[in-house]
Structure 1
Amino acid sequence: MGAEGYNYRAPDSDSLQQKRDQEFTVLQWNIWQEGTLIPGGYDAIVNEIDRLSPDFVTLSEVRNYHGSDFTRRLCQSLKARGKTYYSFRTDDSGLLSRYPLKDSVAVFPLNKDHGSVYKLTAQLGAHEIAVYTAHLDYLDCAYYNVRGYDGFTWKETERPTSVGEVLRLNDLSWRDNAARCFLNEARHDLEAGRMVIFGGDFNEPSHLDWTEATAYLYDHHGMVVPWTVSTLLERNGFTDGYRKVYPDVLSYPGFTYPCHNPAADITKLTWAPKADERERIDFIYYQGDNLFAIDAKLFGTGSSIVRSKAVGDRSADPIILPSGTWPTDHKGVWMKFRIKNK
């Protein structure tokens, strides 16, 4: 070409590969009883989803108050903004997809306050993806017991003296039951060649965060706890997306709860007023051939609640700040994935 006087450029192989690859984003967000505890909370939820335009949204604390179908209402509000999303009716947790649904199922239906897991299946080009959402049992949160608070009523109590005692208290919850139901259903998806995303508020920390390095931080009181939901998922081949992108737990603690909300009475934002209860309890896990986590950010305000006070987060965690009113007491987790085509 050059010898004949023609201009030309040879694209590098990486850019060609990226054009063939497919990317999508996921937002996990606990919306604190549909944003009803904050004036203008519902509109704020709509505004932020409209702004971020994630391909999939996994929602926690969906209540369907007064018999309404919250996710359907959310889809209608987003459609008025020019954004098309699909959903199906769920309770306690919910799902939105920018892709039409091929299937939807209740994997672990809500039983009182013992949590829920739901699933949708969608087609992304040549790839099928199963997206799960969860809001796991919050009646027995053993990480409060470590701080000297009862994990059911959040009243002050004696702290457990051993990790074994912590795990016995943790076993009172139904979180492991829900996780096993998820794993059984996800096994069939993986066998069928689908990729799997699992987002939710687990109401339980990760064993990747309660390590020797953090044993005397955040009122862990020297405890190194193999929290069971995260351990179950890891043993079954699922990857914690945020920890994959940011494995350094000291520089990137990734705390999602309790998030300081300037629009709310601070006394309503913590159930352990004398404790430092900062935790990462909102997660996005994934598994699938040629599926890779390539970016992750927290989504929310830049401060947390520590001993009933707002404390600015001094960490390297990247964060997407809200555009206006913040509707919840959690930070969300936003992630970008890439499907590498063969």
Structure 2
Amino acid sequence: MTIFKWSILLIIPFLFINCTKQKELSLRVLQFNIWQEGTIVPNGYSAILDEVINAKADLIALSEVRNYKQKSLAKRLVRDLKERGFTFYSDSSQDSGILSKYPIVKQEAFYPVIDDRGSVTKAVIKIGDKEVAFYSAHLDYRNCAIYLPRGYDGSTWKPLDAPITDINLLLADNLKSKRIEAIKNVIADAKLEEELGRIVLLAGDFNEASHRDWIKENKDLYEHNGVVIPWTSTTMLEEDNFIDAYREIYPNPITHPGFTFPCYNVDLPVERVVWAPKSDERDRIDFIFYKPNSSISLKDIFIIGPKQSVAYSKVIDETSEDVFQTPLGVWPTDHKAVLGEFILKL
């Protein structure tokens, strides 16, 4: 056999392996409550741009989109990020919103905001030959039952005569919110998206805690007052096979509570970021969920924002093992953000 023929035989397997090897890319998903579009904190809007860029985020779920003075926040963000040299896509929305580094095939007010009772914005996003159904949720803030065990009304935030710790009463109040309806709609729609072969991602400020965080081991911490409870929204999602990204990487809420609210903000008085001033209201209420899919896997997740929280109207230096990325400078919100990095197979 000639040297030429031997060379061909050696090259063919190499070409076959490289042609069949699946291409992968990093997909960074950011849940970001921007607190009234950054208007509460001085220079907050500019800080939103800074943090979006610094996070190297590809898909961003925004909470508290207001479109003040009838100006589309989506258009402002796209314009101002482009001026800084970064191309993003977004369509106008209300209350919840989406920013994407990848083209948006279509976007809709999937669960429209009515009477300020929460919303879900949905976009189908094209990434290579894959399509992602991305849900951005900012759920109903009323009947916020996580405040009842802490001695505060969950709609008026007035002090109660005594904490409410009866699980049946807590779940009944929770069911009065519109959060449950919104999540049911997401679950039903996600099934249709899966049938179309799309990857499903959900991120949002739920204004509700996780059933994985109010457990026996911390029932006497954070003013849980002995309550162990299967909070409804996250329970429904998990029962439908949605995966809580933070708890997939960090399953232990004792070592990694992952608190996202209330976040200490050095540019504001402490009383501006609390709803229950005489209690410890720290909770993880900002989430990233995804449906299992052979084309996507979770690589990492961490919190973006100040490491300090607020409890009993005092600044708390967190001593947990949670991983933080500290802000560049001004932090624009009273929430901490969550950044999940996925590996997407194209």
Both proteins in one fold, TM over 0.5: yes
Partners of 2:171 and 2:29 lie apart in 1 by 31
Q: In 2, are the aligned partners of 1:30 and 1:61 still within 8 Å (CA)?
A: yes
The aligned residue for residue 98 of structure 1 is 101
Q: In 2, are the aligned partners of 1:194 and 1:288 still within 8 Å (CA)?
A: no
The structural deviation recorded for 1:339 is 2.4
State the number of aligned residues.
333
| 1:43-192 correspondence runs (5 A) | 43-157=46-160, 158-192=162-196
> Which SS does the other structure have where 2:330 is aligned?
coil
Partners of 1:204 and 1:18 lie apart in 2 by 42
Instruction: Give 2:243's aligned amino acid.
Output: T
Q: In 2, are the aligned partners of 1:64 and 1:70 still within 8 Å (CA)?
A: yes
Is 1:309–2:314 an aligned residue pair?
yes
TM-score, normalised to structure 2's length? 0.92
Deviates more, 1:19-28 or 1:193-202: 19-28
User: Higher Cα Rg: structure 1 or 2?
Assistant: 2
Q: In 2, are the aligned partners of 1:113 and 1:139 still within 8 Å (CA)?
A: no
With over 3 angstroms needed to count, the CA separation of the structure-2 counterparts of 1:18 and 1:214, relative to structure 1, is farther
Instruction: Give 2:322's aligned amino acid.
Output: D
The structural deviation recorded for 1:72 is 1.4
Instruction: Give 2:259's aligned amino acid.
Output: F
TM-score, normalised to structure 1's length? 0.93
With over 3 angstroms needed to count, the CA separation of the structure-2 counterparts of 1:215 and 1:98, relative to structure 1, is same
Instruction: Give 1:298's aligned amino acid.
Output: I
Cα RMSD over matched residues? 2.1
Instruction: Give 1:59's aligned amino acid.
Output: L
Is 1:250–2:254 an aligned residue pair?
yes
Q: In 1, are the aligned partners of 2:148 and 2:165 still within 8 Å (CA)?
A: no
Deviates more, 1:41-50 or 1:284-293: 284-293
Runs of 4+ in 1 over 4 A off after TM superposition: 15-19
Partners of 1:35 and 1:214 lie apart in 2 by 33
Q: Which runs of 5+ in 2 are unaligned?
A: 1-13
Is 1:332–2:334 an aligned residue pair?
no
The structural deviation recorded for 1:170 is 1.0
With over 3 angstroms needed to count, the CA separation of the structure-2 counterparts of 1:178 and 1:27, relative to structure 1, is same
Deviations 1:281-318 (A, max 9, x none): 00000014222111001010010001001101111111
Instruction: Give 2:271's aligned amino acid.
Output: T
With over 3 angstroms needed to count, the CA separation of the structure-2 counterparts of 1:331 and 1:16, relative to structure 1, is farther
The aligned residue for residue 5 of structure 1 is none
Partners of 1:310 and 1:18 lie apart in 2 by 51
The structural deviation recorded for 1:53 is 2.4
Is 1:213–2:208 an aligned residue pair?
no
The aligned residue for residue 232 of structure 1 is 236
Q: In 1, are the aligned partners of 2:165 and 2:226 still within 8 Å (CA)?
A: no
Partners of 2:315 and 2:212 lie apart in 1 by 25
Deviations 1:63-118 (A, max 9, x none): 11111101210111100011000001111111000011111121100001210001
The aligned residue for residue 8 of structure 1 is none
Partners of 1:17 and 1:280 lie apart in 2 by 42
Partners of 1:267 and 1:116 lie apart in 2 by 27
**Which of these residues, 32, 35, 38, is aligned with residue 38 of structure 2?**
35
Q: In 1, are the aligned partners of 2:165 and 2:225 still within 8 Å (CA)?
A: no
With over 3 angstroms needed to count, the CA separation of the structure-2 counterparts of 1:18 and 1:203, relative to structure 1, is farther
The structural deviation recorded for 1:265 is 1.5
Q: Which runs of 5+ in 1 are unaligned?
A: 1-10
Partners of 1:44 and 1:59 lie apart in 2 by 14
Deviations 1:214-255 (A, max 9, x none): 111111011011000001100111000111111111111100
> Which SS does the other structure have where 2:338 is aligned?
strand
Is 1:292–2:297 an aligned residue pair?
yes
> Which SS does the other structure have where 1:146 is aligned?
coil
